[in-house]
Structure 1
């Protein structure tokens, strides 16, 4: 059995695309197609349905993919352990994160990590769509917000601490809201994603929780655009500190309603790190996780400057 053919099949099955697989292996699409056809012929089984825009697994292909993926992962683990038992971590580390979180927080962490371990290359996939870490062959996935049921290990990295904020120019023009009820008189710039338009919830240790009906002149599925609009003085935003920590620290955005804990869902939301248990046995994954939790620590760097502003327990 051709090991390279199995690796090609695993990538086609994971991505659903001959073109993406060809880019991954730096080969022509026709070469990938021929190798898959040869594998199917040698097995006497059709593994894939070829469609105009995508490739899907047959029933036999799905069973074969599950087994091949496990075998290739075990082979890679055994090879790494045998070839360099005492060497520094190396190899390709595949990460996935939401776009804004990846740009704002993961990239700086990766910069210092790769200076520490120069033999590790990183493939960083940023998307706000939910991905299947196993099917995509990812080593580590970051999830922001609600965590769906998963067979992967899920470690809590940090809480999501939300802050309502606006530019000084807006507050000077429109006034500062003193209670969540005052927001009905303000221009609130709202994120609008797959779960619909953002709603704002507020919790106070000495008062009943509130769900506020807020509205404004701008909705967007791009958080960075809303931050830019807020910086220009257009209105108020509610975003997690990991997204607007720099603007708050520079006082380009000023926090309001400091005595209230804001949320965009009824319950508390967290940031989690997901990975398969067996991947912990690779030095590149264990090294990155150690570095990540060392950098983030009990109080994340994006929260360290503003602990006094965050009502309740940070833990």
Structure 2
């Protein structure tokens, strides 16, 4: 039996797509199709139904997929144990994260992890598009904001703590808004993503319902880093989570305002989660990365300690 064929079959079955499997293995779709056909011929069983837009498992294919998936998991664990008998994590770790969060937070966390475990290679896929970790073959997925229903294990990393801020030059020229309502008279730089242009919500102490502010300004962008840069240049106010602007707050390139109000970009509080498949959680590389991740962020993420850094400077 061709082990590579089993791995290809597992990817096609998991993703429901020859194209996704081809992308995962960096091969042509025709090559994947031929290998699956050869596997079916050797078994004397049809494993997949080919449709125009998708691929589904036959009854025999479903049984075979469940067995093959477990066999491959045990094989990977056995291979890992032989290659690193001392327990050292190794292999390729595929990570997906939103662009700004990945650049600002995951890159330094991953860099420290790989210095600690040099046998682990990483593939970091940054996109603001909502991806399917199973279809894409991702080991670790970071989600910022609302968490959709998923069959993966989802562990909460940290809350999203938003801060409204502007440069000292902007505040000297335009003044500091005393209340959220005063933002009507200010230049608010807004993130505009797949869900449309952001709205700003403010929760007063003891208040049950948020105050919704229809803010506007001179710049909209689907790139958060560009808006942060524009704010540091004195163009206007931004509302972003601390994981994005902690460095600017600590260095006083941006000054927080409206600190007695809790800001949000949705009616309810949003969190940061890490997602992974339960069946992969036993592999050393994933277990080690998750341990490193939570050790790094516990008890308070570095990005929420910007006030301490500000005082120290």
Does the 8 Å contact 2:17/2:55 carry over to 1?
A: no
Aligned residue for 2:239? 238
Q: Could you tell which deviates more after superposition, 266-275 or 85-94? A: 85-94
Cα separation, partners in 2 of 1:66 and 1:213, compared to 1, 3 Å = farther
Report the equivalent of 1:276: 277
- Once the two structures are TM-superposed, the CA of residue 16 in structure 1 deviates from its matched residue by 6.8
Q: Decide whether aligned partners of structure 1 residues 200 and 66 sit closer, same or farther in structure 2, where only a CA change above 3 A counts.
A: farther
Pick aligned residue for 2:55 from 40, 54, 57: 57
1:9-58, Cα deviation, whole Å (9 max, x unpaired) = 3345556776775565465665444323323433442736486xxx7313
Distance 1:307 1:156 in 2: 24
State the distance in 2 between where 1:286 and 1:304 align: 27
Count of matched residue pairs? 306
SS of aligned partner of 2:182 = helix
Please state how far the C-alpha of 1:223 moved relative to its aligned partner.
Answer: 1.2
Residues 28/195 of structure 1: CA separation in 2 closer, same or farther (3 Å cut): closer
What TM-score do you get using the length of structure 2 for normalisation?
0.86
Distance 1:145-1:307 versus aligned 2 partners, 3 A rule? farther
Q: Specify the alignment match of 2:214 in structure 1.
A: 213
**Residue 134 of structure 1, CA deviation:** 2.7
CA–CA distance in 1 between the matches of 2:247 and 2:89? 32
User: Structure 1 residues 181, 271: closer, same or farther in 2, change over 3 A?
Assistant: same
Q: Give the corresponding residue for 2:223.
A: 222
- 1:138-175 CA-to-partner distances (Å, cap 9, x unmatched) read 22211111122223222211110000011222222222
Q: 2:100 maps to which residue?
A: 100
Kept in 2, the 8 Å contact 1:14–1:136? The answer is no
Shift of 1:198: 0.8
Matched, 1:122 2:128: no
1:150 corresponds in structure 2 to 150
Q: Distance in 2 between the 1:272 and 1:290 partners?
A: 14
CA–CA distance in 1 between the matches of 2:81 and 2:154? 25
**Residue in 1 aligned with 2:163?**
163
Q: Distance in 2 between matches of 1:13 and 1:59?
A: 7
Counterpart of 2:76?
76
Instruction: Supply the distance in 2 between the matched residues of 1:308 and 1:265 (Cα, whole angstroms).
Output: 28
Local SS of the residue matching 1:123: strand
| Aligned equivalent of 1:312 | none
Q: Please list the CA deviations of residues 104-152 of structure 1 after superposition, one character each: whole Å capped at 9, or x if unmatched.
A: 1000011111001101111111122222223332222111111222232
Coordinate RMSD, CA, aligned: 2.7
The answer as to 2:250 corresponding to 1:249 is yes
Q: Write out per-residue CA displacement over residues 222-256 of structure 1, whole angstroms, 9 at most, x where no aligned residue.
A: 21122122222221110001011111112111111
Q: Could you say which residue in structure 1 is the equivalent of 2:262?
A: 261
Give the alignment's TM-score, normalised by structure 1.
0.86
Matched, 1:47 2:28: no
1:85 Cα offset (Å): 4.2
Q: Which residue of 1 aligns with 2:201?
A: 201
Structure 2 distance, partners of 1:97, 1:217, is 29
**Structure 2: distance between partners of 1:49 and 1:220:** 41
SS of residue matched to 1:135 = helix
CA contact (8 A) 1:180 1:257 kept: yes
State how far apart, in whole Å, the 1-side matches of 2:26 and 2:84 are: 26
Q: Any conservation in 2 of the 1:159–1:269 contact (CA below 8 Å)? A: yes
| Structure 2 residue ranges without an equivalent (≥5) | none
Contact 2:141 2:275 in 1 (8 A): yes
